[in-house]
């Protein structure tokens, strides 16, 4: 008998328990947007009858009390303390550090696990742990990659080396403004790909190549997406990467009550939302990493004020350069604008917020989790991507799926005001809502028995048991 979750997603029951190799070791990448999908995936696979060991750094460690059915194993001697993650340069440094210094300790942990338990079937790692493939090969342990963002973002990553050979990204400041389309990946623009790169474009490009190449020898790739959403991109994917692909997402729909939040969610905003009219509130959040300059923060505040719409705004502490939290807000903003029609929190229960009937739009940085979560709740978006996969995702949201408004000029109060009005009150916004509601329906179908993600999950479980 299948399990049906509270959202109506159906999970096929554990397949025939004939194999003795039923333990999976999962290695999440230690950032919020990567931890969430990996722990969601762990729960999905656990519900299929697999035992789960989570191998993790102490830095940004998941909270074991949220997942009592899993074993947790900290990796000793690497990323034991907090590391800087603000800005692309730091993120690139982190990836390099983990894939270098992390390898020895990870090998040690895996050897220990394999010596204690002969039933380990596979190692599932985040794609950003690309160097771990050599360890898996050495231990003859099948490695499966969990790709935590979209197919189109992956294809943009994979295009970086070719684009560099074609002469792009030598003059980053020009490329960051270029409206030219990327051949073969239209409607992606050069400006969307250029912000993958950093003050060290050469080094970042190299790393991007390693990440993509690291997918090729993996046995299989698990995608937190669903086939119907990215169908147009699939021929490009399978041509370049003939691995086994399992699209079983959206992961968070299987067990929506699960939390792997690293920060405390301020739930007081829910009772404020309860008092608002249906579809009247704009939810504003730029995820766990993106930061803004003080001048941009002011433009955001003025854009919100001038739009005259209600808003719930997540401002993470220290996400405004030079400020602890809200000090840079214009005089009177808290007393007049927020008191009248706004609410500000440091971190929100985002899934609950997006599902609330009062939410009419989501102003987002287009991290993949946030974008998928918005699609699943039928909430149209305003797109403010800042780096990496966020740009190609935003391009899809605004130009392919047409479920969001692009802010073309960064943070500029007049454009923000106009985008908010378009999304929340104009006919165009209503049309976007219709289109995203249609996608929401597709999500519900793909997770039901016979749906694409449902079937792919069944295939994945059988594949792991048979490999
Ligand atoms: N999130 C949250 N509360 C917030 C903002 C974000 O719980 O106030 C969660 C959100 O639901 C998502 C994750 O944090 O699952 C952010 O991941 P995403 O890929 O959107 O962006 P990233 O943080 O990696 O840039």
Residue 273 and residue 189 share a domain: no
The answer as to whether 334 is a domain residue is: yes
60 lines ligand 1 (CB under 6 A): no
pTM of the model: 0.95
Question: Tens of pLDDT along 123-142?
Answer: 999 999 999 999 999 999 99
Residues 6+ apart with CB under 8 A from 380: 361, 362, 374, 403, 404, 423, 429, 432, 433, 435, 436
The answer as to whether 259 is a domain residue is: no
pLDDT at site 197: 59
Residue 329 and residue 205 share a domain: no
Could you tell me the distance, in angstroms and rounded to a whole number, from the CA of residue 60 to the centre of ligand 1?
A: 14
Residue of 284, 369, 393 to test ligand 1 pocket, by largest number of atoms within 8 Å of CB = 369
The answer as to whether 219 is a domain residue is: yes
Residue that wins the pLDDT comparison between 261 and 176? 261
Residue 369 · residue 354 · CB < 8 Å: no
Could you tell me the distance, in angstroms and rounded to a whole number, from the CA of residue 119 to the centre of ligand 1?
A: 34
Residue 334 and residue 212 share a domain: no
Residue 457 and residue 374 share a domain: no
Residue 359 and residue 458 share a domain: no
Question: How many structural domains are present in the chain?
Answer: 2
Q: Which two tokens stand for residue 221?
A: 């790739």
Whole-angstrom distance, CA of residue 353 vs CA of residue 343:
12
Residue 61 and residue 176 share a domain: yes
Residues 6+ apart with CB under 8 A from 33: 148, 287, 288, 289, 367, 368, 369
250 lines ligand 1 (CB under 6 A): no
The strands making up 381-383's β-sheet, listed across from edge to edge, are: 342-345, 310-314, 281-285, 359-364, 381-383, 404-406
Q: Which residues of 321-339 are buried (b: 16+ CB within 10 A; e: fewer)?
A: eebeebebbeeebeeebbe
The answer as to whether 322 is a domain residue is: yes
The answer as to whether 138 is a domain residue is: yes
- Ligand 1: residue whose CA is nearest its atom 9: 350
Residue 58 and residue 7 share a domain: yes
Question: Tens of pLDDT along 184-232?
Answer: 888 988 888 876 657 777 777 788 889 999 999 999 999 999 999 999 9
Could you tell me the distance, in angstroms and rounded to a whole number, from the CA of residue 371 to the centre of ligand 1?
A: 9
The answer as to whether 193 is a domain residue is: yes
Residue 47 and residue 179 share a domain: yes
Which CATH number fits the domain that encloses residue 318? Answer: 3.40.50.2000
368 lines ligand 1 (CB under 6 A): yes
Whole-angstrom distance, CA of residue 111 vs CA of residue 124:
15
350 lines ligand 1 (CB under 6 A): yes
261 lines ligand 1 (CB under 6 A): yes
Question: Tens of pLDDT along 257-290?
Answer: 888 999 999 999 999 999 999 999 999 999 999 9
- Which residue range(s) make up the domain with 389? 268-443
Question: Tens of pLDDT along 48-83?
Answer: 999 999 999 999 999 999 999 999 999 999 999 888
348 lines ligand 1 (CB under 6 A): yes
User: pLDDT at residue 464 above 50?
Assistant: yes
Residue 213 and residue 70 share a domain: yes
Whole-angstrom distance, CA of residue 371 vs CA of residue 150:
10
Question: Tens of pLDDT along 383-442?
Answer: 999 988 999 999 999 999 999 999 999 999 999 999 999 999 999 999 999 999 999 999
């Amino acid at each position: 008998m299948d399990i049906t979750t509270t959202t109506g997603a159906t999970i096929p029951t554990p397949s025939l328990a004939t194999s003795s190799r039923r333990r999976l070791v999962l290695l999440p990448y230690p950032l919020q947007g990567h931890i969430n999908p990996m722990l969601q995936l762990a729960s999905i696979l656990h519900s299929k009858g697999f035992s789960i060991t989570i191998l993790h750094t102490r830095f940004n460690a998941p909270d074991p009390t949220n997942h009592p059915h899993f074993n947790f194993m900290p990796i000793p001697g690497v990323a034991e303390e907090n590391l800087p993650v603000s800005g692309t340069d730091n993120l690139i440094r982190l990836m390099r550090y983990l894939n270098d210094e992390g390898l020895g300790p990870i090998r040690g942990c895996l050897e220990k696990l394999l010596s204690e338990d002969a039933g380990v079937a596979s190692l599932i790692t985040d794609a950003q742990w690309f160097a771990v493939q050599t360890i898996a090969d050495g231990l003859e342990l099948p490695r499966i990659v969990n790709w935590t963002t979209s197919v189109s973002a992956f294809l943009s990553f994979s295009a970086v080396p070719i684009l560099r050979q074609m002469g792009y990204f030598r003059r980053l400041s020009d490329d960051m403004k270029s409206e030219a389309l990327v051949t073969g990946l239209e409607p992606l623009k050069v400006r969307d790909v250029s912000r993958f790169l950093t003050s060290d474009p050469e080094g970042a490009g190299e790393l991007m190549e390693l990440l993509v190449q690291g997918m090729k020898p993996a046995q299989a790739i698990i995608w937190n997406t669903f086939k119907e959403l990215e169908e147009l991109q699939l021929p490009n994917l399978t041509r370049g990467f003939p691995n086994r692909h399992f699209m079983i997402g959206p992961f968070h729909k299987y067990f929506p009550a699960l939390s792997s939040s690293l920060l405390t969610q301020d739930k007081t905003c829910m009772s404020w939302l309860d008092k608002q009219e249906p579809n009247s509130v704009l939810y504003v959040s730029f995820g766990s990493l993106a930061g803004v300059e003080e001048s941009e923060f002011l433009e955001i505040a003025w854009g919100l004020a001038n739009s005259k719409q209600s808003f719930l705004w997540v401002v993470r502490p220290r996400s405004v350069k030079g400020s602890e939290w809200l000090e840079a807000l214009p005089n009177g903003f808290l007393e007049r604008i927020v008191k009248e029609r706004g609410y500000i929190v440091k971190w929100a229960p985002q899934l609950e917020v997006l599902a609330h009937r009062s939410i009419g739009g989501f102003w987002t940085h287009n991290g993949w989790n946030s974008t998928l979560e918005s699609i699943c709740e039928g909430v149209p978006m305003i797109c403010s991507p800042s780096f990496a996969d966020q740009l190609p995702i935003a391009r899809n949201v605004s130009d392919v799926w047409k479920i969001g408004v692009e802010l073309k000029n960064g943070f500029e109060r007049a454009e923000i005001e106009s985008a908010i009005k378009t999304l929340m009150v104009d006919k165009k916004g209503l049309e976007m809502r219709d289109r995203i509601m249609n996608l929401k329906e597709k999500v519900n179908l793909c997770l039901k028995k016979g749906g694409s993600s449902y079937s792919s999950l069944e295939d994945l479980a059988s594949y792991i048991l048979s490999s």
